[in-house]
Structure 1
Amino acid sequence: MELLTFFKNGETRLGVKIDQTIIDVKAAAAVKSQEDIPTDVMSVIQGGQEKVYQLMTFIQELDLNDSDYVLNEHHLEWGPCVTNPGKIICVGLNYRKHADETNAPYPDVPILFSKFNNTLTGHKKDIAVPKITNKLDYEVELAIVIGKRAKYISKENALDYVFGYCVGNDLSARDLQLRTNQWLLGKTCDDFCPLGPYLITADVVGNPNNLSLKTTVNGEVRQNSNTSDMIFYCDELVSYISHHMTLTPGDIILTRNPAGVVLGLPENKRVYLKPGDVVTVEIEKLGKLTNKFVEE
């Protein structure tokens, strides 16, 4: 199932993509007088497979030609496909070739840090380059969205706790990130975590560790890799994190970026993001997430 969020009349709405059609779930529920249908993405995630099945059954019975609730995705104002995660957990140095390009040793255990909800934004939203940085970098990342409460779970069962996956861009102000040994400051400026366009349920994605992923800047390919290059795979990450904190539905794990970031280039070839740049990050089966950068 392909879920999304968009803004309408100042509120966040749940959408479902069927072929090339977007269903406004709240509008459809009103037309059909179905008050028990979940109308926001967090309700679906927190309701698990029962809510997914309920929503899918409801959508399958709709008339896809009804203009009261059928939308054109090109006219949407997109929101982040997960709107209110309890935690945004990021993984550092989790691709072999990225570690190689930055001359960093492979970690023995996952390196974890965090972002906050102020960093969330959506597809096609403009992102201001903060005045405080001169070294803004892109990072295409597979985002895991947790679907069930998880504590002390095994690697073998870990993916059973995943609701779905989406595309993320872990924007990083390198000058702020490397100012101290703690990376937090360079990772948490406003809108530094666009997510979307879609949240794809785990059953559609299948194996998350064999997905191609790519970044283009102004049409030029900068990153081109596969999640198979991860040092710690998705099941390992979910299991490991669950042994240190309780994961709850809606929590996001950003699984780190492959080679090709600006920071990995020789210093005399580094050209960081600037106002006017357009960045698209994409992952196989999950779609393309595009943002334009503007002056703050």
Structure 2
Amino acid sequence: MLTTTTLTFLLTLGAVVANPTTEPWTRSRKCGTYMSDAKMMAAERHFVAQAAKILPEAKIANKAVKVYFHVISKDSTVAGGNVPAYQIANQMSVLNRDYGGNINWVLAGTTRTVNADWFNKVGPSSSQQTAMKAALRSGGRADLNVYTVGFKSGTGVGLLGYATFPFTYSSAPKDDGIVILFGSLPGGSTPRYNLGRTLTHETGHWLGLFHTFQGGCTSSGTANGGDFVADTPSQKYPSEGCPRGQDSCRGSSFPGSDAIQNFMDYSTDICMTQFSAGQIARATKQFATYRA
């Protein structure tokens, strides 16, 4: 059952939303909702309190996180969402390459379901999402479930993907996981966003990372906002395209050119190349705290 708390975090932190009024070739990453600093800080206070109980050596380096892929399609064709096995294999390669061996991922299984209602209408808070996840989710708190759908209508229209956060698992374990647009897999049908970086980005949320622009032009990790990572500069707004040299927070107390190549920004797939060391440290600590 999707709880109010889980839905709030889903909508405010985990949604990478495309403009539903445009054609796929002009799709861009845009966040669908806003999260107040108060709610973000409440989640962070909980993490800090829980993380204090975790031994420093508790890490997921060298541990293979199981990934279960659930392919939802409207028919048996690739255009209808039935992504081929080689695209899933390529997506796993991208995921492992992007996390640079700091976190390792292994494909544990693939299910295929022809259900036009789910394919078209799955989205945050939808009844289709609840039914889909209840029927298909595999594994436990340490296992990643990925669902590929079409996002054609309803609350998911225009989305590229969305994810749950590690701190919501205990209240809604069946809801845990990531839902992405089937065309975002490597070689998929969504130009500019078909190199597999949507799953990399959403997996960052699943591991407890915020957007690089969370909080705007404020010091990272303060009560005013920030992504709680010290080595990502402040950023006023999400990037679009690949605006090299962009500095949206000149003169701020946490200066530096925007991290447009960071996987937690909204740049195009080809522009995204890295996580910061601080993000990897946060992700492993979040995993140890909530998923180990």
User: Normalising by structure 2, what TM-score?
Assistant: 0.26
More strand by share: 1
Q: Higher relative contact order at CA 8 Å, sep ≥6: structure 1 or structure 2?
A: 1
Rg bigger for which structure? 1
